[in-house]
Amino acid sequence: MDAHQPTRQVATALPGGGVRIAPRTNRYRRTRRSELVIWWREIDRVLLGLVLTLVTVGTVAVAASSPASAHRLSTPGKALGDLYFFWLHLRWLAVGLFAMFVASLLPKETTRRLAILLAAAMLVALVFVPIFGSEVKGAKRWLWIGFSLQPSEFLKPGFAIAVAWILSWRVRDPNIPVIPITIALMGLIGALLMAQPDFGSTVLFCGVWFVLVLLSGLSVSKVGWSLGGGILIVILAYLFYPNATHRIDAFLSGGSEFDQVDLAMRTLVSGGWSGSGLWLGSRKMALPEAHTDYIFSVIGEEFGLIACAMIVVLYCAIVVRVMMRLADEEDLFTVLAAAGLTSQLAGQAFINILVNLQLFPSKGMTLPLISYGGSSTIALLLGVGFLLAITRRNPYLSRETTDFRELVRQ
């Protein structure tokens, strides 16, 4: 007990008629400070450190890329300052970090319920996007509700946790058709995304779904059928979906989309191993979407290929850290939810990096935790908060046991 705090006393009657005076103890009273101490002990501090490192790198990268985008988007009537997007990014980042912190404080069950409600709300919002959405560069992906909201970004963390929850029903009843249910959900989301059109996000959602279904115990034969179905969907999208046709054709044979990717690749390697230095890059000034889609190329020009390699290592370290955290985890929902959130983050990162390396068609996808963004920044940090909450561990409590070998046999 703190000596500087006043001590409350409690009088207790003794059998002989006397009275015993004893201090009242607050040992079992939960305070906000004690809850924060528990949070700090249970949280994966290594994972939190990796995420904050990426956020810090992203802040510097947005500062480096902001002049290029500000100059391109300035008009004769309105000139944007060189750090216009940097100051905006700091605002969104503050909101996102607060959302991450609050989400990481939640118990696992509360996190699951909140994520499912978020997924349901964003799924409803997706229905209205093609009708009432704001059109930018031929795509309707945003709703104006007093501020610009991109429902697909907030659907990503909710989708990963919702699908993990559905697949975990197998623990209670192996006969529940969880795979067909998730296929139907994925099909609905895919159709709504393609209507925007947003082929890149559709690919990412399908990838996350496949990882979760694979981890849930899908048999080898069904894995083959799933891969074959995925290839068939890509072929059909190429034949009948103009957005996919244009992007794939541009990647294979050249065109406006490929010119952007080629310019990004040239910008990426122009800085050599050590880079030209902060604000000293010149090729970035001709780069479209330098602060979002092609920020990795700006990092390559101004900070060098070594910095790019370190960023790739950081993303890999996040994946490895989560895998290590889940190595002895025995709760199926925890494994699937954490794996889904991690695959969504890592998948988006490596798609963006491959586009900048001219190894993948242009997708219009940001580099998570690094690129400038409003909805994307907040949604990604909220997803990290969910991940931190789900992977919290109390060493004094036993975890629910699930035999994964039995699930695979079924």
Split at pLDDT 50, 70, 90, the class of 296 is: very high
- How many CB atoms neighbour CB 342 within 10 A? 27
Q: What domain count does the chain have?
A: 1
Of 155, 112, 183, the C-alpha closest to 331 is 112
Q: What is the pLDDT of residue 402?
A: 45
For residue 290, give Cα distances in angstroms to 195, 295, 308: 26, 5, 15
Pairwise pLDDT comparison (116 vs 226), residue with the higher score: 116
For residue 280, is it within any domain? yes
Q: What is the mean pLDDT of the segment spanning 39-52?
A: 92
Residue-level pLDDT at 172: 83
Among 89-103, 181-195, 384-398, the range with the most confident prediction by mean pLDDT is 89-103
**Would you say residue 194 has pLDDT above 60?**
yes
Q: What is the pLDDT of residue 145?
A: 76
Would you state the pLDDT for residue 237?
67
Q: Which of 130, 120, 131, 132 is nearest to 193 (CA)?
A: 130
Tokens of 393: 């561990």
Asked if residue 21 is part of any domain, the answer here is no
Residue 283 binned pLDDT confidence (cut-offs 50, 70, 90): confident
Matching residue, tokens 């970035």: 284
User: Residues in the chain, how many?
Assistant: 410
End-to-end CA gap in the chain: 55
What is the model's pLDDT at position 405?
45
pLDDT, residue 208, reads 93
Round to whole Å and give the CA distance between 359 and 355. Answer: 6
List of residues 6+ apart from 84 with CB closer than 8 A: 66, 70
What per-residue confidence (pLDDT) applies to 321? 94
Determine the Cα–Cα distance for residues 57 and 69; give it in Å rounded to an integer.
Answer: 18
Residue 130 lies in a domain: yes
Per the domain annotation, does 262 fall within a domain?
Answer: yes
Q: Is residue 38 one of the residues assigned to a domain?
A: no
93: in domain: yes
| Contact yes or no for 371/314 (Cβ under 8 A) | no
Please report the pLDDT score of residue 330 as a whole number.
83
Is 3 contained in some domain? no
pLDDT tens digits along 2-24: 444 445 555 555 555 555 555 55
Instruction: Give the CA-trace dihedral at 52, 53, 55, 59, to 10 degrees.
Output: 130
Q: Print the domain residue range for 319.
A: 44-75+85-394
The tens digit of pLDDT for each residue in 84-97 reads: 999 999 999 999 99
pLDDT tens digits, 206-226: 999 989 988 887 665 666 666
The confidence score (pLDDT) of residue 407 equals: 44
Residue 19 lies in a domain: no
**Taking a C-beta distance cutoff of 8 angstroms, is the pair 281, 298 a contact?**
yes
What is the 3-state secondary structure of 121-137? HHHHHHHHHHHHCEEEC
Give tens-digit pLDDT for 263-273. 888 888 888 89
* Sequence letter at residue 146: G
Question: Taking residues 220-246, what's their average pLDDT?
Answer: 67
DSSP per-residue letters across 185-226: HHHHHHHHHHTTT-HHHHHHHHHHHHHHHHHTT--HHHHHHH
Q: What is the mean pLDDT of residues 165-188?
A: 88
Higher pLDDT, 222 or 134: 134
DSSP, residue by residue, 291-323 = TTTTHHHHHHHHHHHHHHHHHHHHHHHHHHHHH
